[in-house]
Structure 1
Amino acid sequence: MGFANAAVFVVDDDPEICRSFRWLFESVNIPVKTYENAKAFLDSYDGTQKGCLIIDVRMPIMSGLELLEHINSLRNQLSVIMITGYGDIPMAVRAMKAGATDFILKPVNHQHLLEITQKCLKKIHTNSIQSQSNFYERLDRLTKRERQVMDLVIEGKLNKQIAHELDISISTVEVHRANVMRKMETKTLAELIKINLLQAFSNEELNSLVSLDG
């Protein structure tokens, strides 16, 4: 089953656990990356990568719960599974309340972990398709002129430059920009740029899948 470039990210300070989980997911062709601590993961995660994040609750420097709370403060496309010992069940409950998808007790049953992870990845894939559909629905609301203005805004052009390029007044550019923000359901320019970049990233994934199929 393909998951549109989604991956599994394992954060655990136990090297043996990391090796074991890597073997498990690679055996079913699911991309997997392992990290020895939360900092190593955060240093490599850019917010656009989709997948399932598997975190050990008890880790030095930054605990699994602290990592989860930090991840929640970022815009991300991750489902989180917590790995916990019996004595950490209260912490696991806190993790669920903080947004974790599930938690698994040690010793980990590999088949159970695999089933939960595949379910998470499938949900992420479905949500990605829905998000892509929603993006195009919003895009269809724009007039041709509004699309032109949005493209130039994303390129970093100022209102004065856009007005000159499209041969319209600055006040008209401002009206079009306001319409773009409203119809695309974004509140800031940064958000408008980000959803377009994420969509472009998704299209690249789709094209790569089509190329592989061919």
Structure 2
Amino acid sequence: MVDEISLSKRALADVTIYILDSDLQSCEHLSVLFRLEGYATHFFLDTDSFNRAVSKRGPNLVVMKSVVAEQSTIPALMQFKAETCGIPVIVIEAIQSVDAAVAAMKAGARDVCSVPLDSEHLLGTIRSALRQQFQSGVGSNSIEIRGFNSLTDREREVLNLIANGRSNKEAANTLGISHRTVEVHRCRVMQKMNAKNAADLVRIVLQTSP
């Protein structure tokens, strides 16, 4: 069933991450790191430009430095969480501070990463946050994915496999049905959820928020 989906790296790749950090070199480093994983990125050097971008189009996840332009980003974090419920935020400490980490978590941060930054840990945290966002969104009554309620049980099983990057042939083998039958179910799922293709289908689910 869809609420049991464990997203593959391929499925998680079709997301956008916003980076907030006044250090241009740090922004570029994080942007390259995330793009190598397949994520789209946009970075911002100040909270004003970040807030303007969020008001136009929200990201799937935010990575922000705890201090930007010598000012705490806690107010920006609190505003973001108030306006975009459900989108995870990961805070990178400018300096190691227990009090700052606690403040960030209380303000709504999904996790706080200390410096020097462990890239593998950060990427793992991002994947975990996106996976949890997807799973809680599918299973939550507060989130309605367009067209999901109209899917049959079999169509939901096909959606599960598509979200995990399975081909029609692989899905057919898993479900014990013909390749043609999977194509029919897949077509119906995409029609009901108004998706252009498999990648768009995953994007619809990932980007749906309360």
**What is the TM-score normalised by the length of structure 2?**
0.61
Letter in 2 for 1:115: G
Once the two structures are TM-superposed, the CA of residue 8 in structure 1 deviates from its matched residue by 1.2
Letter in 2 for 1:207: K
Structure showing the higher helix proportion among its residues: 1
Once the two structures are TM-superposed, the CA of residue 80 in structure 1 deviates from its matched residue by 0.8
Aligned counterparts of 2:200 and 2:61: Cα–Cα separation in 1: 25
Aligned counterparts of 1:4 and 1:113: Cα–Cα separation in 2: 15
Q: Classify the secondary structure of the residue corresponding to 1:108.
A: coil
Matched, 1:69 2:58: no
1:50–1:77 CA contact under 8 A, matched in 2 = no
Alignment-derived partner of residue 45 in structure 1: 54
Matched, 1:125 2:114: no
1:1-214 aligned at under 5 Å gives the runs 1=9, 2-3=11-12, 5-46=14-55, 49-60=58-69, 63-130=72-139, 131-132=143-144, 203=193, 206-209=195-198
Aligned counterparts of 2:66 and 2:16: Cα–Cα separation in 1: 20
Identify which of structures 1 and 2 has the higher relative contact order when contacts are C-alpha pairs closer than 8 Å and 6+ apart.
Answer: 2
Q: Classify the secondary structure of the residue corresponding to 1:8.
A: strand
The runs of 5 or more residues in structure 1 that have no matched partner are 140-202
- The alignment-based identity, stated in percent, is 18
Once the two structures are TM-superposed, the CA of residue 58 in structure 1 deviates from its matched residue by 0.9
Once the two structures are TM-superposed, the CA of residue 14 in structure 1 deviates from its matched residue by 0.6
Residues 32, 11 of structure 1: alpha-carbon distance in 2 compared, 3 angstrom cutoff: same
**What is the TM-score normalised by the length of structure 1?**
0.60
The runs of 5 or more residues in structure 2 that have no matched partner are 1-8, 151-192, 203-210
Number of aligned residue pairs: give it: 150
